[in-house]
Structures are given as structure tokens and as C-alpha cells.
Amino acid sequence: MTEQKRRYFGTDGIRGRVGDGVITPDFILKLGWAVGRVLAKGDQNKVLIGKDTRISGYMFESALQAGLSAAGVDVYLLGPMPTPAIAYLTRTLCAQAGIVISASHNHYHDNGIKFFSEYGTKLPDVIELEIESMLEQPLRTVESTHLGRAHRVDGAIGCYIRFCKGTIPDDIYFTDVKLVVDCAHGATYYVTPKIFRGLGADVIVMGAEPNGININHNCGSTAPRLLQALVLKHQADVGVALDGDGDRLIMVDHKGELVDGDELLFIIARSQKRKGIGHTEVVGTLMSNLGLEYALARYDMNLHRTNVGDRHVIEKMRNIGGKVGGESSGHIICLDKTATCDGTVAALQVLSEMIETGSSLHELRAAFIKYPQILINVKANNIVDLTTNDDVAKAVNNIKVKLGNEGNVLLRASGTEPVVRVMVEGRDADLIYYMARRLAKLIETILRI
């Protein structure tokens, strides 16, 4: 099933503004029923539901619970938990599926529903197609004796904490590390600081006072300025920025400089290679910085590029047998440890490498020389197929000719926001900024027509 054929599912579940389109209680109830009908197996039907901290999560949790119950599926409620924790617990607790109520890095007025299979992986396209087909059928409630029951899950946080600690060597402790951790007022607000403190780190926490509407607001991986300032103020060794559901990671070194997903991917891949447990094949996306490709090549590793979206990265990793992959935005997948991207687990791998090598984060990222890269988001209420526009094709081709092998240009409609992303990179920062601005202006004009 191609993404163009999907009516409801996007690149990462179903997402939108609360109260608009399908992000409404009535649709989410029907969605829960459809999921239950598709995924139910025999008499042992169990689905986990977790959420981030946005206020609408309570409403959609109740709607999903009602729909699943109507389909005869038992619901196990996890409460606020990071997305990767729900993926892990789905597999560990032998559930048929895990459901996450979250809009990830978006602000509180958005929400969405993401799904994990019984293996803790994203649902295959064929299952999403079945769910969409079931949504077209009338909702029929099972007999009362077969209605699903609801349960609260005790001990889930402790289970996830033990798992995260188990992803680094038993003899690694962070007793001499001072961290500033930004939880984006999201799902990691309790569990991630507890993990780092349990490993001995001196932890200063920010973004850990969720009130339902402050998730991702001027904090987290998409807004790390305050974290950078706090790292410098407290003379911390490292800053850790997660997003609202905990699957993205951006870090800050002791100089207050940002370390993005490409750089973190390089550090982890090189660490695995150093320890002889890695793989020469690393997976990034079409938006991965050219500097990553060249930095990996210096250590005899190859970068494979795929479409943007962690599901595409994971699929490519499985196809080539890779152990590590990720995106510039901070989605990092350590496939030998997790089935999905996990910001906390990725941070643990970087911190472990710092301890084992005696290097600072600033020193670890020094072997990666980033190419200047400009990313402009063009707002688009009605996204059109720009690939069929002659003016856009001509402009993109001209940029490619001018940059040659020393640059890159990419246009793509976001799968999570109503924007078209314009990315240009190359050696000359002034030139690529000029090119990106001109291309963005052209697209703005076309989208207004």
C-alpha cells in the first residue's frame, strides 16, 4: 500500500489538530473498535494504551478504551509513558498491539494515534490497510459476555527503567557526569531523570512539570535554547533534550553547542565499530547531512539513505542487517537493543561512549564536519504534487547542477505538519541560503494559486 492510497494513516499513525478532521472522540472510538476487530486473536485479546501529557490524551484514552471494549478486546492502561517504552512493553507483556496517544514534537493542540505490533514494531502497511477498510464498516458491539475489560498496569515504569539500564554495560556508571535533562513537559518527565540518577549522574531537570498544555512549548528537542543556556550556567558536561513522547534526542555539549541526530548517529556507529560489535552499513535519510556520509567513510562505514521517516529507516536497516540508523531530527534506532527509536536509550549509548573513552561529547563529535544546511518550512494548507510542476523541477535541477557532488537539495511534504520542507546543503553557506530562499519563495507562490 502506498502512502497516497491511505485515507487516514500518515507516515507515523494518524495525527492532526484536536477537534478537526478525524482527531475527534467519535472517530477515535470507531478507530479503537476497528483496531480491535483487525488485531483480535482467539480468546486472549490484549492491547496496551499509553499516552503523553497533553490534555486531550484523557479524552482519547477513554474513546479508544470504549472502542476496543466494544470489539471484545481487553485494555491495559499504562498512563503517561514514552512511546518507545510502550513499544517495549507491548512485546514484553505479550500484547496483540500497543497504542500511543501522542503528537510527538507537536504542540498541545495537536494529537494523534500511533500503533505498535505484538513485536514492538510499527504496524505493517497491510495491517493499516485492513484497519482503514474496517473503519468503513458499521460498528457492531460484541455480546455483553465478550466485552473487553480495562486494567491499570502496575510496575510498567520499573520494567522500562530496568530495560534502559540494561542497554549499556553493567560496569558503566555516570557518577562523575553532570547532566541537564529537558523532558519537554512530556512523557519522559518522570522516568528519564530517574534512569540517569539511578546510574549515578548529577541530574538537573527542566521541562518536567506538565500541565496538559505546555508540552514542547519553548523546550525539548525542537526548542533547545534554554537547555543550552542551562548547560553553560551549571557548567554541566552534557545536555539531553527529548521531545514530547521521548523518541527524539538532541544533545548539547559542555560548550553549549547543539549535537543533532546526524552527529549522534555518527558517535554511536563509531562506538560500535570501535568495540567490534557494529556493522559497516549505517542508515540515514535523504535529509542526512553530507558530512555524515564523509565522516562514516573515514571509518570504513557506508551511509545508506532512505525516505524521511523512522519506519523507512528501520525497514532499510532490517533489509541490510544494519544495527544503527537515524534521522537528523533526532530519531536514533539501535536495532540490536530496541525495535524502535528511543531518545533515552540513544542518550545512554552516547554517555557510555564518553565514559569508556574518557572523551567529552565535544571531542566525540569533532570528527564529524557538518556541511552547511538550510531547512525552510513553507506553510501549506493544501499541499499539491510539486513534482509535476515544471517551474519547480527547473529550479531544483538548476540547484543540483550548481552544487554538483558537493551539495544536495530536497523537497518533501511533511507527514506530521501542514508544511513543505525545503532543504539545501553545500559547502558555501551564503550560496545555499540564497538558493533555499528562492526555492521557498517559488513554492509559496505556487501553493497560493
Instruction: Provide the annotated active-site residues.
Output: 104
Q: How does DSSP assign 57-110, residue by residue? A: HHHHHHHHHHHHHHTT-EEEEEEE--HHHHHHHHHHTT-SEEEEE--TTS-TTE
Specify whether the CB–CB gap between 306 and 316 falls below 8 A: yes
**What is the DSSP secondary structure assignment for residue 237, as one 8-state letter?**
S
In the structure grid, which three cell numbers stand for residue 180, read together? 541537564
Residue with cell 557526569: 177
Q: Please give the Cα distance from 87 to 151 (Å, whole number).
A: 18
Whole-number Cα distances in Å, 300 to 156, 303, 324, 381:
40, 10, 15, 44
Residue with cell 478486546: 73
**431-441 b/e (C-beta count within 10 Å ≥ 16 → b):** bbeebbeebbe
Residue with cell 507483556: 93
Torsion of CA 10, 11, 17, 23, to 10 degrees: 50
Q: Please give the Cα distance from 166 to 162 (Å, whole number).
A: 6
Q: Please give the Cα distance from 91 to 73 (Å, whole number).
A: 17
Contacts of 394 (CB under 8 A, 6+ apart): none
Q: Please give the Cα distance from 77 to 50 (Å, whole number).
A: 6
In the structure grid, which three cell numbers stand for residue 157, read together? 515504569
Partnered with residue 283 across adjacent β-strands are 304, 325
Helices (H), 2-74: 25-39, 57-70
In the structure grid, which three cell numbers stand for residue 256, read together? 553549549
Partnered with residue 422 across adjacent β-strands are 376, 411
Whole-number Cα distances in Å, 125 to 11, 68, 121, 218:
10, 21, 12, 35
In the structure grid, which three cell numbers stand for residue 428, read together? 558555501
